[in-house]
Each structure stands twice: as structure tokens, then as C-alpha cells.
Amino acid sequence: MIERGDFVTFDFGAIYSGYHSDITRTIVIGSASAWQQEVYEVVSEAQMLGIKHAKAGITGTELDAVVRSYISSRGYGQYFGHGLGHGVGLDIHELPVASRRGKEKLETNMVVTVEPGIYIPGKGGVRIEDVIVIAPDGCNVLTNASKRLFEIN
């Protein structure tokens, strides 16, 4: 049962002409507490850091490490248990991966997700996910839904 004070994570996707999409947003039911605001801010900043560092030539492991290091520096490293992202295309989860096992270099026009998350047992969690296209000197974000923390009263 969803109750006031809970985080709720929505993970959406669609298929168009055989190609997949993927986007995740997290909201809070009621007013966000101080710890919820902090965790959301950390995930949001981590995601923006991942987007900022995504470019052709970086490996998935290197990109994951940038974000993982930031989350750890904010005291939440033990609560980020999955990889940063995955390729999206004809399958919803495909190579390359942006994780500790992502040895492949990201190449121009590869489509991947950037989706850090913090999940605190017994309290709740946050994930923010966007799909990006790798470019020579950066990336282009394909998803454009608001990333502000919505409080549903």
C-alpha cells in the first residue's frame, strides 16, 4: 500500500518502429521530508554529473565510476547497488553497459541510459533515468520530462 511519506518510482518505456525508450522518475506522496529532499538532490546531481561526463571514448566503467564516486562522497555509496546505465535500442537492455563491468568504450551515436539510484532499506529510494545519445564531445538527452521532485498531496 502506498502511504503519505512514501517515494514512488515510475519506470516508463515505449516501442516505436522496433526501437525502445526508457525513462524513470520518482515522486513523493505528501510533502518530502528533509532526508527525502537530500537523497533526491544527491541522485539528481549524480545524474547530471553522469550526463556531463558522457562522451565518445569513455568506457562504461569510467562513467559509472564518476557517478559512483560522487554518490559515495555524499555518504550513500552503499545504497547504489546497480549499474549506472545500459544500452537501449532494439532491446530495452543491451550493450554497452555503464557499470563496473562496462569495459566497452562508448562511441558516437550509441544510445544509453543514465540512471543512478539510491535505495535505503526500510525508508525508500530514488532513481532518475534519461536516455542519451553519445556524441564526440558530450551527449544529447532524448528524454525531457521534468526532474524536479514532485510532491503529490
Class level of CATH domain 7-146? alpha beta
User: What's the chain's length in residues?
Assistant: 153
Residue 124: the pLDDT is 95
CA distance 104 to 96: 6
Give the predicted TM-score (pTM) of the model.
Answer: 0.96
Residue 2: the pLDDT is 94
Residue 58: the pLDDT is 98
Residue 152: the pLDDT is 95
Contact 98, 85 (CB under 8 A): yes
Q: What are the contacts of 93-101 at 24+ separation with CB within 8 A?
A: 96/60, 97/60, 98/50, 98/54, 98/60, 98/63, 98/64, 99/60, 99/61, 99/64, 100/61, 100/64, 100/65, 100/68, 101/60, 101/61
- 119: region left, alpha or beta (phi > 0 left; psi from -120 to 50 alpha): beta
- Where do the structural domains in the chain lie, given as residue ranges? 7-146
Residue 99: the pLDDT is 96
Residue 127: the pLDDT is 98
Per-residue pLDDT 10s for the chain (153 aa) are 999 999 999 999 999 999 999 999 999 999 999 999 999 999 999 999 999 999 999 999 999 999 999 999 999 999 999 999 999 999 999 999 999 999 999 999 999 999 999 999 999 999 999 999 999 999 999 999 999 999 998
Residue 68: the pLDDT is 98
